[in-house]
Amino acid sequence: MPNHLAARAGPAPVIRRLPPEAVNRIAAGEVIERPASAIKELVENSLDAGARTIEVEIRQGGKAGIVVSDDGCGMDGESLLLAVERHATSKLAPSREGDFDLTTISTLGFRGEALPSIGAIARLDISSRAAGGPGSPGPGSSPGDPGPGEASKLSVHGGKLSGPAPAAFAGEGTRVEVGELFYATPARLKFLKSDQAETAAVADAVRRLAMAHPEVAFSLASNGRRMFAFPAETNDEAGRLKRLGAVMGRDFEANALPIEAERDGARLSGFAGLPTFNRGLPDKQFLFVNGRPVRDKLLIGALRGAYADFLARDRHAVVALFLEVAPDFVDVNVHPAKTEVRFREAGMIRGLIVGALRCALAEAGHRASTTTSAAALGRMRADGASVGAAPIRPGMRPFSPANPFARAGAPDGNFALEDRPRSFGGVDAPSARAAAAEGPPAEDYPLGAARAQLHETYIVAQSADGLIIVDQHAAHERLVYETMKEALAAGGVQRQGLLIPEIVELDAEEAERVAARAEELAELGLVLERFGDGAIVVREVPALLGNPDVAALVRRLADDLGEIGEGLALKDALEGVASSMACHGSVRSGRRLTTEEMNALLRQMEATPHSGQCNHGRPTYVELKLSDIERLFGRR
C-alpha cells in the first residue's frame, strides 16, 4: 500500500489550532503569489495614502529585494504596529451602530493582509514619518518609542516583530523594504519563474496602476537600472491620454478614439484604438473598475462583440477603459489578489461597453490608423535601400520627353484613365463629374481625386497634401457590407432575379445545410432552393452585389453555416453572413475602373462609417503625406 494511503488508514485525525506564524504563512500564500503581487499590494497602499510620487526598485526580479517609497501621509509608531497585524486597516470605518460595511469599499488595498503576509514570508522593514508634523506615541507606549517629530522604523522578519524604533528618514511618507522574499517558505521559490519573467510581471503590475492614476508620478528600477519613469499628468482626458501613450506607446495616443458613456449610474470613459490599429495578441486590453486594474472575462466578450465587424478572428483590439460604479454595485473581494470583480448587473455593463465602443467607431468614419502609412514607408526604406532609377524590364517603355506620362519602368496598360461610363458593382453612387461641378475641387476631399489605377487593383488618388492608395476590393467590400446592414435593419435586402438560374454543385450534406436556411437567406436577398441530392439552384441575388460569382458565394455560405451550427438561428448571425456575401460579391481585384467609378468609390468611402478597414480588419487605404514622400527622395 502506498505511504499516503497507509497514513489515511491510521488513527482518526485530531483537530489542532495552528500557531499564528503558520496562519500568517497560509494567508500569505493567498495574497502574495509572486514578487509582482507584493509590489501591487504595496503600491496600492501608497495610493490609498495619498501619494503623488511612487518609486519602486527591485533586485533579481523582486526575489532578492523590493523597495517601494512614497510621499503619502505616512504613519507614526503606533500606526506601524497596527499596520502589520492581520485584519487591521485604516480604510474601513464603523457605522453609528458599530458595524463595518464591506459592501461599500472605496479604496484599493482594503483587506489589511498585505503587510503581515509579506512579513510572514520575507524580511520586511518599514520606515515612515507621518505627514503634518510629529508621529507622537499614544498613552501607555514603551520608553523606546520615538518622540515627537521623529520617523519610525519597524521590522517583521519571518513573522518575528521588532520595533518600532527611531529612524533616519527624510521628508514625509513611507519606505517599505522587502528582502529575501519567500525565505521563510522556500518551497514557494521553486515555483517562481526566471528573473526576467518576474521583472516583466512587476513592470506590468506597476504600469497598470500608473495607467489608472495619471496624477501620480511612477518610476521603476531593476538591478540599479531605470526601466521607466512616468511624470505626473493632469487628471483629465488629455492627461490620461498622455499617460496611456507613455505606457502603451505613442502610436496608441495618435490612433485612439475617446470613449464617454453613462448608463444607470455607471460611467465609462477611456480610449479605444482604431480597428486598423490592432495586434496579434490581446495584451493591450485594459479594464479598470473604480481605479482598480482587473482582468475580467466581461471585457473580452464585450470587445469581441464591439469589434466583430472590423477585425479578423486572430486580431485583437487595443483599448483602455475606465469604469466607475457605485461601490455596492460591484464586489471586489471575489479573488484574494483582487484581480477579478463581480458586477450586480453584468448584462448592463456589457451593453454599456459595447454601445460606447460601437458609437465611437461609427464616429471615426473612414479614418484609418497612422501606423498603416508608417508601415508602408518603413517597407519602402527596407534595408536602408535608397530610392533610385528602376531597371527597365522587357515590355516596359523608357521615359521620353515626348511622352512624359510614360514613367520609366511603368508597364503598358497599368494606368486606367478611361472615361467611358460603366456600372459600378451595384453601388448607387453619384457621378464624380457632377460632384466636382457642384462641390469643391476633388483634391480638397479627404480622400482626394483619382489619378490612376495600378495593376487593375489599386486606386491612386491625389489629396491636397499627399497621396492615397486604395485597395478597390477591400473598400468596396466594406461599402457593400454597410449597405446590406442598413437594408437588413430596414426590413430586407433588395433582390434582383437571374435571367438564367444558376445551379451550384455541393456535397449532399452542404446542400441540405444551405437549403434548410433558405427562408432566412432570402432576407439577405439570396433566393435559392434544393435541386436534387447534391445541388442548389439560385434564382435571385442581392442587387447590391451586381454580378457576383454565385457558385463561390454559395460554397462560402455553406462553410459559414457549418460553423454557425444548427442550434443558432441564422438571424443571430446575419451580419456575419452578410459580411461573407459582401466579400465574395464585391468588385474584385483585376477589374479596370473608369475615373468616374474610382471617384465615386472615394466619395462613398468618405460618407460610409468604418470604411477605413475591410470586413477582415485590413486597411482599405494608405495615405502618404507630401512631406513623407519628399523625405523618401531626400528632399527634406
Output the CA torsion sign for 596, 602, 607, 611.
positive
Q: How many angstroms separate the CA atoms of 84 and 154, rounded?
A: 9
What are the sequence ranges of the domains in the chain? 20-90+103-135+147-225, 235-363, 365-382+413-636
Q: Among residues 170, 155, 164, which one has the least CA distance to residue 76?
A: 164
Q: How many angstroms separate the CA atoms of 523 and 305, rounded?
A: 22
| Element of type H or E holding 210 | helix 195-212
What is the second-level CATH architecture of the domain 365-382+413-636? Answer: 2-Layer Sandwich (3.30)
* Whole-number pLDDT of residue 203: 95
Q: Are 57 and 179 in contact (CB under 8 A)?
A: no
Q: Among residues 430, 436, 390, 428, which one has the least CA distance to residue 411?
A: 390
Question: 83: helix, coil or strand?
Answer: helix
Q: How many angstroms separate the CA atoms of 170 and 147, rounded?
A: 16
User: For domain 235-363, which CATH number applies: 3.30.450.20, 3.30.230.10, 3.90.1150.10, 3.40.1390.10?
Assistant: 3.30.230.10
373 CB neighbour count, 10 Å cutoff = 21
* Whole-number pLDDT of residue 496: 84
Q: How far apart are the first and last CA of the chain?
A: 83
How far CA 93 is from CA of 35, 73, 107, 328, 485, in Å, comes to 30, 18, 12, 16, 54
All residue ranges of the chain with pLDDT < 70 are 1-12, 16, 18, 20-31, 87-113, 132-149, 331-341, 365-443, 488-489, 491-492, 544-546, 563-590, 615-617, 636
Domain spanning 20-90+103-135+147-225: CATH superfamily: Histidine kinase-like ATPase, C-terminal domain (3.30.565.10)
212: which 3 cell numbers?
Answer: 489608472
**Start-end of H helices in 269-369:** 297-306, 346-363
For residue 304, count CB atoms less than 10 angstroms from its CB and return exposed for 0-12, middle for 13-18, buried for 19 or more.
Answer: middle
Amino acid at 615: N
Beta partners for 177? Answer: 67, 125
pLDDT digits (tens, 9 = 90+) for 82-113: 888 776 666 555 556 655 555 555 566 544 56
Q: How many angstroms separate the CA atoms of 25 and 159, rounded?
A: 9
